[in-house]
Structure 1
Amino acid sequence: MTFKPARLLLALIAMSAAPAFAQNLAVVNGKPIPSSRVDAVVKQVEAAGQGQDSPQLRQVIKNDLIAREVLMQEAIKQGYDKKPEVRAALDNARQAIVVNQLARDYIAKNPVTDAEIKAEYDRFTKQMGDKEYHVRHILLDTEAEAKAVIAKIKGGAKFEELAKQSKDTGTASNGGDLDWASPSSFPPEFAAGFTGLQKGAVNENPVKTANGFHVVKLDDTRPAKLPSLEEVKPQIADALAQKKLQDYQEQMVKKAKVQ
């Protein structure tokens, strides 16, 4: 089969135009929608764990993008893009997109290292300690009230019964039980009130905190169940990355001329 000159010219034009046309998902009222938008949305859906790439998913996304483009054109036709509140929202969105890209690039150029993660993990485990405590408490308004409760306990009264008068309504009904926790979970002065106690003992003197006066009982102790480095590595890396971004932001603000 041979092409006549006119048909050959048309075929060449079609071939040269095909790649450019393939880059468009659709053309709505003369406005092209790039196919790359579908690819971007598919990646977002997969990253969020909301679906997998498939012809059905791409068709849904295509329909949505076309509908959005139709509505966008109508909104512009009605002048919504000129409204002050819309322009302000667009400015905020543009700023967020640009700043987020700056943040991603900064972290890419200044990544969190394994050594930094290990150092933060070591700091965390040192702060948590190697022991957990099962503690109960009775919170009272005055030191005199707390001393009276301690005296009753020494006289044979049950701690759990006396805990019903505690100001801490969250634990009063269950014997003042604060469950298992590390000393770092409490205010330092409160932690100091039970870390030196023997199992089953009640502190000799009330422990004062910003909340009032505490009568504290130590039920038991056990070795701390700390997560391994590998278990918390992603969370530590994310926290350190956020810290780097915060430091970077503070440095930029200090250098800026703010009037």
Structure 2
Amino acid sequence: MLNTRHLISFSLAALLISAPTFAQNAAIVNGKSIPKAQLDKLVQKSGQGDNPQVRDQAREMLVTKELILQEADKRGVIQKESVREQLEQSRVGILVAAVFEDYIEKEGVTVAELNAAYESVKTQYTGKEYHIEHILVEKETDAKAIIAQIKAGGNFGEIAKAKSKDPGSATNGGDLGWVNDKALVPEFSKAMVQLKNGQMTDKPVKSQFGWHIIKTVDSRDMKAPSFDELKAELKQMIASDQNWQKAKFTEMMQKLRAKAKVQ
């Protein structure tokens, strides 16, 4: 019979032998290993970060998937003609989408199409844009009191931080950055474009959001970004158009047929 020391040594040896197996597997389902690499990849693709909760959820998904695959094999459903046909249809559908996506990426969007799209987008960058600061309050009386305070020497930015109800700009001293008149509500834009650089509205401006005190810090002519700056965005814009996609798919198939030997 083995003594206690031998039993302990045997147990430790067994653990040391099995440890690497568990380390490289996320789980073992009915003797079938699920590699840890699969779990790592699933966690990464989830975009939820890497933490124990996310790993547990991902591991459960892999275990569920493996159980279904094993049960499908046990029941023989994969051998059914209807199932095999559906699997083949899904496979072909995935490959068609992948081939078309690769075609679009490598040769679908032409330079001429990109240039035409850029010229069209450039027309949107007309007129002026303004560097604006504003203070938003609920009551007209409060707005008038703030205007009087600023005219008496009060600091616009500090007052905006203390009293503005606009959460997006209050912490920045009311600074909205560079905007154009088309991006703002009409009442605000109308008052803004009438101001000179460094000038503030004499009266509060009413909009659906409340009462505004507006200050134009600076203004300039709008300038379109360069072609290179917009190239990726233009390519995505063109490729997302459904009519364009249909035409390009037809074009791709015509090229494939032209090169193929079909008897």
**TM-score, scaled relative to structure 2:** 0.49
**TM-score, scaled relative to structure 1:** 0.50
